[in-house]
Each structure stands twice: as structure tokens, then as C-alpha cells.
Amino acid sequence: MSATLDTNLLGNYYRNSVLLEVPGRTYPIEDEYTNDDVENYLEASIAKTLEIHKSKENGDILVFLTGPDEIDRAVEDVKGKLKDSAIVLPLHGKLTEDDTKRIFEPTPNNKRKIIFSTNVAETSVTIDGICHVIETGMVKEAMWDEKRHMQVLKIGTITQSSVKQRRGRAGRTAPGKVNHYSTYKNQ
């Protein structure tokens, strides 16, 4: 079951059920919220990625963006600025199987892995080595456009449940830190 599932609600629905809890994350997570209104979350997330990388703090970085176009732009920008000092990878549904497998390969000792991902990494995917999560608070999802009478992909803010899921990507294999550009503080 999902870590964000309301177990009391589910237990009440199935009256004669037994609740078995299996602890998930065993490492602490530190949350850091931006105090500024971020006009361009893509530029802000790239800047934060570079800041974390230059700080020499341990661990790989996972950045949540909305789609392949943003991800490709971020990957190209960060690769250009960091040259060969990091392994910069995209993660989204349009990747080949071989490209997706690279995400799960161990990070060499002298490198840091930086992954720019859609919400595909939001759920139960555990990528060893992730200690830093940059959570933009944005997602691209199908929405009904009343004017055009059709479904369209639009960028919008994520739900509180998604904030919790994204936060949970840090602290899986080591202590983690989450940088939030989201409006959902202290959730």
C-alpha cells in the first residue's frame, strides 16, 4: 500500500481486518522551504541543483519537473555547466529501457548522479543514493478544457499527497534533504 494511505479509514471500511505496518524510511529528512515567490521554477531548480552540487554535500540529487521538454533543457544546461563532474540523467516515460536502467546503476565513487524526472519517480521507485530532492510543486496532467471541449495537458500545482510522495524519495538509503518550491508547507 501507499505510504500516504489513510490506514484508519481503510481499516474502518474492512471492519474485521488486521493492520500490519511495515516501516518504510529509516533515515531522517530535513525540509527546506523557499521564502521567495519563484517566478520560474525551472531556472530556480537548476540553480538549486548547482548550489547543492557545489556545496559538496554527499548524495545524489533528484529534481521533479513537469515533462520531457523541461527535463531535456535542464539536463543540457546542467551538463554544460558541470562538464564531467556529475552524471546528469533524464527520467520520464518516453525513455528507452536502456536509458531508464542507467538511473538505477550505482554512482561511481568520484561522481554525483543528478536526475531530472517527471512524477514517474514520485511513487514507489527507490533510487539508491538519492539524498537531495528538489520538489518544484508542479506537474503536467490531463485536464478538461471547457473552452475547447477536450482534454489537454496543463501544468498545475501538485496535491499534498504528491508532496508527501516526492518527499519520501529522500531518506530511503541515507539521511535526506528536500528543497520545496511548493505552497504546501509543513505537510
CATH number at residue 127: 3.40.50.300
Residues 6+ apart with CB under 8 A from 31: 167, 177, 178, 180, 186
Residue 186 is assigned to a structural domain of this protein: no
- Is the pLDDT confidence value at 118 over 50? yes
Residue 71 is assigned to a structural domain of this protein: yes
Residue 4 is assigned to a structural domain of this protein: no
Residue 10 is assigned to a structural domain of this protein: no
Contact 142, 155 (CB under 8 A): no
Predicted pLDDT of residue 91: 94
Residue 100 is assigned to a structural domain of this protein: yes
Which whole number is the average pLDDT over 71-84? 95
* 150 phi and psi angles, rounded to 5 deg: -160, 165
Predicted pLDDT of residue 23: 62
Residue 43 is assigned to a structural domain of this protein: yes
Please tell me which residue, 14 or 151, carries the higher pLDDT value: 151
- Is the pLDDT confidence value at 173 over 50? yes
Predicted pLDDT of residue 24: 59
Question: Range of 106's domain?
Answer: 25-180
Predicted pLDDT of residue 182: 55
Predicted pLDDT of residue 2: 55
- Is the pLDDT confidence value at 1 over 60? no
pLDDT tier for residue 154 given thresholds of 50, 70 and 90: confident
Q: What is the pTM of this model?
A: 0.81
Predicted pLDDT of residue 162: 83
* Cell (9 digits) for 147: 473552452
Residue 114 is assigned to a structural domain of this protein: yes
Residue 129 is assigned to a structural domain of this protein: yes
Task: Count how many domains the chain has.
Answer: 1
- Is the pLDDT confidence value at 4 over 60? no
Predicted pLDDT of residue 105: 92
Predicted pLDDT of residue 82: 94
pLDDT tier for residue 14 given thresholds of 50, 70 and 90: confident
- Is the pLDDT confidence value at 39 over 60? yes
